[in-house]
Amino acid sequence: MEKHLLKNGKELTIRLVKIEEVQEFLNYINQCGKETDFLGFGEEGIGLTLEDEEKQIKNSTDKNFMLVALVDNKIVGSCSLRTNESRMRLKHIALLGITILKEYWGIGIGKNLLNSAIKRGKKTGITRFELTVRTDNKNAIALYNKLGFEIEGRLKNAMFIKDKYFDNYIMGLVI
């Protein structure tokens, strides 16, 4: 568990998601989908059942996990780290995914979550971190650049939202 002071003066706690908070986590993630079109899911939710999410939490490892960010004991952010542990040629690569409730954007949660996930990943031998981001998500791109990620390519028509296509960047950080 990590503690950080946010720009708004509140204390941030970062830790692994717990099995007993799976319903709260699903409620949180579905709320994120309602608040922004920058995610790979929207108002319809992430499409996971309570049982699906419980299984993912139970199957967490040092190389496949979900961190949550809490402010005042409320889940306000999350960061997943996923690897392909069974493929020897790819097991050094981690895919990151991050969500934050809109009212908590811009106060340091994303930076702290990503740094925590990267630190944990490095301890297990991960040397490459990847993520995708919509090309018009300027604030996220600025954060990722600040953390050392570089744009490595453009995925055309990667997202389809409200009858419109959007491109994504693939960004990478090599340690």
Q: Which domains occur in the chain, in start order?
A: 2-174 (3.40.630.30)
pLDDT tens readout for residues 119-161? 999 999 999 999 999 999 999 999 999 999 999 999 999 999 9
Q: How far apart are CA 173 and CA 175, in angstroms?
A: 6
pLDDT at 47: 80
What's the pLDDT band for 174 if we cut at 50, 70, 90?
A: very high
DSSP conformation class of 22: H
Mean pLDDT of 17-23: 95
Asked whether the predicted pLDDT for residue 110 surpasses 90, the reply is yes
Question: What are the strands of the beta sheet with 74-83, ordered from one edge?
Answer: 2-5, 11-16, 65-71, 74-83, 93-100, 128-134, 164-174, 150-161
For the whole model, what pTM was predicted?
Answer: 0.94
Average pLDDT over residues 104-119: 98
Alpha-carbon span 37 to 79, nearest angstrom: 17
